[in-house]
């Protein structure tokens, strides 16, 4: 199959539909094209390997190497797996500790799992994280100031990075939009990366939380390298990435869950 274009007219129509709607399901595509679920799954797997879509359990979402998915679409990708990742990461965070939490739907799952912790100081540039945690009177929440990105409630830019640099915390909980084969963590917005870099540089331990779909995505802006990460919490790791992580000595916690296919 040509890596840049769909192999059949049906696959071309699927790509067009995904780009128009943001998300498709196997069930809907079976009804639309009058073929078997197995045929649709093969189509989606082919398109996913060609990076024309991003495969999800039960369907697919739009893929782009220069622009992230819409926030609501990102929340739907690997949703149950992200919840497990969030719960596992939260277990690494002791009560009465300080931490950064950056942008991302997976980092928000970590925050959700922290709502009953006590004595935390949480510094975040994620309004959704702040909304999850501020009601717990034993958690002190500090929001980095700056420009609020209207698409997802993220606070980005130099002002937010400068506020982050005023702290030195025990742990950083970070997400990423993509992970390259060489272990580079990538994102789409250079303003967001400014804040993420400040977070990494001012935490004693860095925990990366990400689901398996990020190993198959592309993005243009460098955040960091895997050798700057102390612990990776994910659902599943591709074999080649597992070899790299072993060489780097990165602690890995795999939570399992649904495969990124049917």
Domain shared by 105 and 155, yes or no:
yes
Domain shared by 13 and 117, yes or no:
no
Report DSSP letters for 55-89, one per residue.
EETTEEEE--SSSPPPHHHHHHTTHHHHHHHHHHH
Domain shared by 56 and 100, yes or no:
no
Pseudo-torsion of CA 179, 99, 157, 107, nearest 10°? 50
Q: Scanning the structure block, which residue is given the tokens 């100031």?
A: 145
Structural domain includes residue 130: yes
pTM of the model: 0.77
Domain shared by 128 and 57, yes or no:
no
Q: How many domains does the chain fold into?
A: 2
Domain shared by 43 and 82, yes or no:
no
pLDDT of residue 38: 95
Domain shared by 37 and 162, yes or no:
no
pLDDT of residue 258: 63
User: What is the domain range of residue 111?
Assistant: 78-254
Domain shared by 25 and 92, yes or no:
no
Inter-CA distances, 48 with 52, 114, 136, 246, Å: 6, 34, 41, 27
pLDDT of residue 3: 43
pLDDT of residue 4: 44
- As given in the structure block, the two tokens for residue 115 are 């709502």
Structural domain includes residue 259: no
Structural domain includes residue 71: no
Domain shared by 121 and 236, yes or no:
yes
**Which parts of the chain register pLDDT below 70?**
1-7, 22, 63-78, 216, 258-262
Domain shared by 17 and 126, yes or no:
no
Structural domain includes residue 125: yes
Domain shared by 90 and 51, yes or no:
no
Structural domain includes residue 83: yes
Domain shared by 36 and 99, yes or no:
no
């Amino acid at each position: 199959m040509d890596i840049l274009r769909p192999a059949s007219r049906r696959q071309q129509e699927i790509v067009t539909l995904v780009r128009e709607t943001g998300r498709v399901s196997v069930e809907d595509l079976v009804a639309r094209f009058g073929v078997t679920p197995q045929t649709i799954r093969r189509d989606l797997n082919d398109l996913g390997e060609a990076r024309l879509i991003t495969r999800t359990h039960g369907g697919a979402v739009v893929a782009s190497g220069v622009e992230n998915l819409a926030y609501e679409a990102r929340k739907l990708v690997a949703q149950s797996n992200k919840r497990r990742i969030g719960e596992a990461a939260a277990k690494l965070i002791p009560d009465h500790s300080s931490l950064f939490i950056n942008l991302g739907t997976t980092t928000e799952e970590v925050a959700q799992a922290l709502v009953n912790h006590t004595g935390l100081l949480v510094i975040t540039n994620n309004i959704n994280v702040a909304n999850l945690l501020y009601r717990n009177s034993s958690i002190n929440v500090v929001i980095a100031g700056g420009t609020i990105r209207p698409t997802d409630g993220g606070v980005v830019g130099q002002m937010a990075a400068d506020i982050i640099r005023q702290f030195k915390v025990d742990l950083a909980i970070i997400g990423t939009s993509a992970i390259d084969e060489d272990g580079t963590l990538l994102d789409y917005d250079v303003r967001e990366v400014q804040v993420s870099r400040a977070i990494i540089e001012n935490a004693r331990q860095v925990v990366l939380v990400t689901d398996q779909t990020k190993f198959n995505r592309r993005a243009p802006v460098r955040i960091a390298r895997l050798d700057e990460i102390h612990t990776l919490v994910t659902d599943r790791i591709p074999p080649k990435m597992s070899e790299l992580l072993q060489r780097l000595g990165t602690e890995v916690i795999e939570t399992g869950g649904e495969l990124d296919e049917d």
